[in-house]
């Protein structure tokens, strides 16, 4: 395949797959995105994009605020169920420290904006990637719609249950249930609603998050410790029972819930890190590579970082030595994403404490944490996005097969 006519196939049109498609397209690749679902999958929830993800988007010239119309600063404070603040994030301080505050957007607005940055016909909905075969050194993508022909690069952005991860890492232990489930929904704007501010409220083994979005809607989420797979008979009743006596505006927000619009997902992360994120011309990114619990709000942000670093390294290799660029991508991304996965798991353990004494000690400790210590903890996340400067990290002899 010539260096000028480079073809990439991306499995999955989530945040990671779409960002990778945009990043590659902007560097001259011809991209096909295969999405198993019959239409866009990003529905019914918001997402907070931390400064590291916004910086990664900057690196590919994708301006989130302009692309989605408006994005709301979303510095996350912590509260107790009675409304008392445990820590209050200072949006201006975060913006000064990290070049901008975290931004909250509706997931579908973000997905639409990324899709709009791609040429017409790039995304093929209702097409599942079944396998990737080796045809004389080139990967051939087998889909539910037939073979796609040879590609220079295949990206597995097929999410937390990644079929391609299971296939290529058969000895990997897979996912681990965190013990928590999460409900998410986006509530319509209501004129008489008490002012909602971005915050996460911690109870005993339960959390409730409130994130105002542009246009007056509010993204809310809640978590609780429950056995894996358990679903309430009536989700609205369940949420009112758990959080209906918490501080304002939570009870009023719960009244607005449409049970049919509530998403519920049990929370998992990878039981162990993958040994690498590549195999010849095939690379994993996002949840497929490093599924993590959402306790730090970094899963999507790391998928965005992956996509941008990957496209950057492929560009530096001028598309000619794809396997070597993918090995460099693995070297650049494995340690950072796994450190965040482990940190997110630890943060979850603290957030879900249920014993009253442990909860009281936790809350006291959070209140007593000085702002500068909290900032230091955020630095590794928000300041940690870098574009590798060279290809020196590529181990010798890699990348000779597809």
Is 283 an interacting residue with respect to ligand FAD (CB under 6 A)?
A: no
CB of 100 to ligand FAD, least distance (A): 15
Which of 14, 179, 280, 348 touches ligand FAD (CB under 6 A)?
14
| Other C-beta atoms lying within 10 Å of the C-beta of residue 154 | 27
Angle, vertex CA 196, rays to CA 376 and CA 294, nearest 5:
45
**Interface residue with ligand FAD, options 23, 24, 32, 41 (CB under 6 A):** 41
Is residue 301 close enough to count as binding ligand FAD by CB under 6 A? yes
Q: Smallest distance from the beta carbon of 3 to ligand FAD, in angstroms?
A: 27
Q: Could you give the C-alpha distances from 104 to 64, 96, 186, 253, 275, in angstroms and in order? A: 10, 18, 12, 18, 33
On whether the CB atoms of residues 129 and 11 are closer than 8 A, the answer is yes
User: Which candidate, 230, 180, 227, places its Cα nearest to that of 205?
Assistant: 180
- Could you give the CA distance from residue 125 to residue 346 in angstroms, rounded to a whole number? 37
Residues ≥6 apart with Cβ < 8 Å to 146: none
**Secondary structure class of 347 (helix, strand, coil):** helix
Distance in Å, CB of 265 to ligand FAD, minimum: 5
* 222 in contact with ligand FAD (CB under 6 A): no
Q: In the complex, what is the shortest distance from the CB of residue 72 to ligand FAD, in angstroms, rounded to a whole number?
A: 13
Stretch of 151-159, 246-254, 377-385, 389-397 contacting ligand FAD, by CB under 6 A: 151-159
Tokens encoding 282: 């095939």
Please name every residue paired with 87 in a beta bridge, in sequence order, or none if there are none: 78
Choosing from 182, 322, 324, 326, the residue that interacts with ligand FAD (CB under 6 A) is 182
Binding-residue total with ligand FAD (CB under 6 A):
36
Peptide bond into 249 cis (omega under 30): yes
**What's the half-sphere exposure (Cβ side, CA atoms, 13 Å) at 393?**
16
Candidate segments 241-249, 290-298, 317-325, 391-399, binder of ligand FAD by CB under 6 A? 290-298
> Which among 278, 273, 401, 402 has a CA at the least distance from the CA of 344?
273
What are the phi and psi torsion angles at 360 (to 5°)?
Answer: -65, -45
> Least separation, in Å, of the C-beta of 257 and ligand FAD?
16
Distance CA 402, CA 138 (A): 6
User: Taking CB under 6 A as the rule, does residue 76 contact ligand FAD?
Assistant: no
Q: Which of 206, 287, 305, 321 binds ligand FAD (CB under 6 A)?
A: 287
Question: Which residue number, 179 or 294, has a Cβ lying nearer to ligand FAD?
Answer: 294
Q: Which stretch binds ligand FAD (CB under 6 A): 116-124, 224-232, 286-294, 321-329?
A: 286-294
Q: Write out the binding residues for ligand FAD, residues 84-143 only, by CB under 6 A.
A: 128-129
User: How many Å from the N-terminal Cα to the C-terminal Cα in the chain?
Assistant: 13
In the complex, least distance from residue 192 CB atom to ligand FAD, rounded to whole angstroms: 27
Q: Please tell me the distance from the alpha carbon of residue 37 to that of residue 336, in angstroms, as a whole number.
A: 30
User: 102 or 319: whose CB is closer to ligand FAD?
Assistant: 102
* Residue 317 CB, nearest approach to ligand FAD (Å): 23
* Binding residue (CB under 6 A) for ligand FAD from 157, 270, 344, 353: 157
Report in angstroms how near the CB of residue 56 gets to ligand FAD at its nearest: 11
Which H helix or E strand runs over 169?
Answer: none
Compute the least distance from the CB of residue 61 to ligand FAD, in Å. Answer: 20
Alpha-helical (H) ranges within 263-387 are 287-290, 299-316, 322-351, 356-368, 371-382
Q: Is 11 in the site for ligand FAD (CB under 6 A)?
A: yes
361 contacts ligand FAD (rule: CB under 6 A): no
Positions in the binding site for ligand FAD (CB under 6 A)? 11-17, 34-37, 41, 47-48, 128-129, 157-160, 163, 182, 184, 221, 265, 267, 286-288, 294, 297-301, 303
């Amino acid at each position: 395949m010539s260096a000028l006519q480079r073809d990439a196939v991306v499995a999955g049109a989530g945040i990671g797959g779409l960002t990778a498609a945009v990043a590659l397209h902007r560097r001259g690749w011809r991209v096909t995105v295969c999405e198993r679902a019959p239409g866009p999958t990003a529905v019914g929830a918001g997402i907070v994009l931390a400064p590291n993800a916004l910086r990664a988007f900057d690196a590919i010239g994708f301006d989130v605020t302009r692309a989605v119309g408006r994005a709301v600063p979303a510095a996350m404070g912590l509260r107790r169920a009675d409304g008392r603040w445990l820590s209050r994030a200072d949006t201006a301080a975060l913006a000064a420290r990290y070049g901008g505050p975290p931004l909250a957007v509706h997931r579908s607005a973000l997905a639409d904006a990324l899709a709009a940055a791609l040429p017409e016909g790039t995304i093929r909905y209702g097409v599942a990637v079944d396998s990737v075969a080796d045809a004389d050194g080139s990967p051939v993508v087998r889909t539910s719609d037939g073979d796609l022909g040879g590609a220079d690069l295949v990206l597995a952005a097929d999410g937390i249950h990644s079929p391609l991860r299971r296939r290529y890492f058969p000895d990997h232990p897979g996912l681990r249930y965190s013990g928590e489930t999460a409900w998410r929904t986006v509530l319509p704007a209501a004129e008489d609603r008490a002012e909602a501010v971005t915050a996460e409220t911690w109870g005993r083994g339960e959390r409730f998050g409130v994130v105002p979005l542009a246009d007056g809607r509010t993204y809310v989420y809640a978590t609780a410790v429950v056995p894996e797979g358990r679903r309430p008979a009536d989700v609205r009743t369940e949420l009112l029972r758990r959080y209906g006596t918490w501080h304002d505006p939570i009870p009023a927000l719960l009244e607005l819930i449409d049970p049919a619009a509530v998403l519920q997902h049990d929370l998992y992360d990878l039981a162990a890190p993958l040994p690498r994120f590549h195999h010849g011309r095939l690379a994993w990114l996002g949840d497929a590579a490093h599924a993590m619990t959402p306790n730090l709000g970094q899963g999507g942000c790391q998928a965005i970082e992956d996509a941008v670093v990957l496209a950057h390294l492929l560009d530096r290799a001028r598309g000619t030595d794809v396997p070597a660029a993918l090995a460099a991508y693995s070297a650049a991304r494995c340690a950072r994403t796994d450190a965040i996965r482990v940190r997110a798991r630890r943060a979850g353990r603290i957030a879900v404490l249920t014993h009253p004494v442990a909860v009281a000690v936790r809350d006291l400790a959070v209140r007593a944490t000085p702002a500068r210590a909290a900032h230091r903890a955020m630095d590794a996340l928000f300041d940690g996005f870098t574009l590798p400067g060279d290809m020196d990290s590529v181990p010798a002899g890699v990348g000779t097969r597809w």
